Amino acid sequence: MAGFENFTERLASIVSARVLKLVVTFVSTPIVVRLLEPSGYGDYAVLLSVFAVFILPVSAAVTEGVQKYVGEERADEVDWQERVVAFYAIFGGVLIVGAVLVMLAFTALGGAAWLFGDAFTLYFYLLAGHVFFAQFRAIGYHAVLGFGNEKATATFDVAKKLLTMVVGIGLVLALGVGVEGMLVGHVVANLIIAIAAGALVLRTIDVTRLSLPSLRDLPLRELAAFNAMNIVLVLLVRSMAHVDVVMLRVITESSTTGFYKAALSTAEYIWIVPMALQTVLLHSSSGLWSENRTDEITDIATRITRYNLLLVILLAIGMATLVDRFVPLYFGNEYTASIVPLLVLLPGVVGFAAARPLQAIGQGSGRMRTLVLAVGGAAALNLALNALLIPTYGMIGAAAATSIGYGSMFGFLTWSAYRLGYDPLADVRAVRIGLTAALTTPVVWGVDQLVASDILALFVVPPIGLVAYLVVAVNVRAIDVDEILAIVDRAPPRIGGPIRTALAWVD
């Protein structure tokens, strides 16, 4: 059981992989945007959203389940890990075959062309391959996570992104196949990572000890209940991230969807660390829940919530300040239409980022009903607002609706935390965090106004803003120096030494 041993190091592996993925995404996105043009990029965004929504029921039925139960490593159960992996591999395989057949039949009967246009018939056939291999990649990936091998999954994350972009962009450039080439990139990347993850799983467990009849000795009712409720939970969460894109494409033209997707993709850069926390906390918190150590869960949850809020608010301040410089440089001048939706999205993105670790801790408890009720409230609000605002206000309405829906997630999941028996706000220091943001924002904005060059501003404003934010945060005690030092102590000396010197000056 991974637990919280070496938690910082394991989290660092995930975060470093997310940062590398960000670098790949940062470099490749403007290339993809320009190669596909707004219309093609809008269609590509819709396909990715359709993929995310379609695969949810079959993926959510296995991924978090195999990660959670492999991570528990129950000592009183013989061959526990082998049986869990075998069960989820078989179950997930059956589900994905059925799902792919449904997609192929829907496409063959003209459903894709009727819904989105004739070009989507070929797109959906390729999407079916993406769905198939993504399922097996996800099962292997989450099993490796359950073993506590975050370093390997970090490698898989980066390799998958690189393969997708290299193969996809290469095909677009070489054959001029546009969206089709990018979809083939996804298929190839998922196939290769599925093979690599499967090989690592087989090296970790001893399949020679496994017998199929022994699968009947698993607590199938417990596994089934978790799987069923997790499907609902993940469907609700993912719907919030994709329903706006799909609805916008159906109601408006593809170029509008492309502009909105650019805003959404940029705002989601804020989620790098929160998503890494969510990844590690699911299997790490399961052991504490199984031993009913709620005081420790409260202590961990409240510190993570505070650190997470401090980080994402800093990123949001920087993004809001630099957005008018960044978007035209990064996406192209025609994407200036994305600036206002991005600013509208930012408050909600901060709330959603703060909620992600709480979702994972709740999943670790296994008490999914409360979690589903909480997320269901946020998802229902998000859907209703998008349906109300998009027809009248287009992508600005989508941004406003999604921002409110995202932001409500933090409130709903805080309520669920109290119901589950822990307090994520016990030491969150909300007033001090707010004061840190209020005092730092004018400094960041003022520095931005002093720099005339857009490119220079992108390099100068962030480090100055970081220093100002850190000075204010430490001095108003939104975070203590001892807390920072506890993290720095785990860093290599060549990194930790200068940070210690800087902190002594700041304090």
> Tell me: the pLDDT tens digits for 214-265?
677 777 787 788 778 878 887 788 778 778 888 887 887 777 888 888 888 8
d(CA 255, CA 37): 9
d(CA 34, CA 44): 13
With residues binned 3-state (H G I as helix, E B as strand, rest as coil), the percentages for the chain, rounded to 5, are 90, 0, 10
What's the pLDDT at 73? 62
What's the pLDDT at 461? 92
What's the pLDDT at 1? 47
Provide the angle, in degrees to the nearest 10, between the axes of the packed helices 254-267 and 220-251.
130
d(CA 420, CA 424): 11
What's the pLDDT at 377? 93
Cα 444–chain centre separation: 27
What's the pLDDT at 2? 52
d(CA 398, CA 409): 17
What's the pLDDT at 295? 85
What's the pLDDT at 134? 93
d(CA 192, CA 198): 10
Cα 298–chain centre separation: 23
d(CA 110, CA 474): 60
Whether the CB-CB separation of 43 and 123 falls below 8 Å is answered with yes
Query: What's the half-sphere exposure (Cβ side, CA atoms, 13 Å) at 258?
Result: 23
pTM of structure = 0.74
Radius of gyration of the chain (CA): 23
The one-digit pLDDT tens for each residue of the chain (507 residues) are 455 556 666 667 777 777 788 788 878 888 888 888 777 887 888 888 788 878 878 887 788 778 877 766 665 566 777 788 888 888 888 999 999 999 999 999 988 888 888 888 888 999 999 999 999 999 988 888 877 777 888 888 889 999 999 998 998 888 888 888 899 999 999 999 999 998 998 888 777 666 666 677 777 787 788 778 878 887 788 778 778 888 887 887 777 888 888 888 888 888 878 877 777 776 667 767 767 778 888 888 898 899 889 999 999 999 999 999 988 888 888 888 889 999 999 999 999 999 988 888 888 777 888 889 999 999 999 999 999 999 988 889 999 999 999 999 999 999 999 998 889 988 889 999 999 999 999 999 999 999 888 889 989 999 999 889 989 998 999 988 777 777 666 655 555 556 666 556 655
Q: Residue holding tokens 């720095």?
A: 488
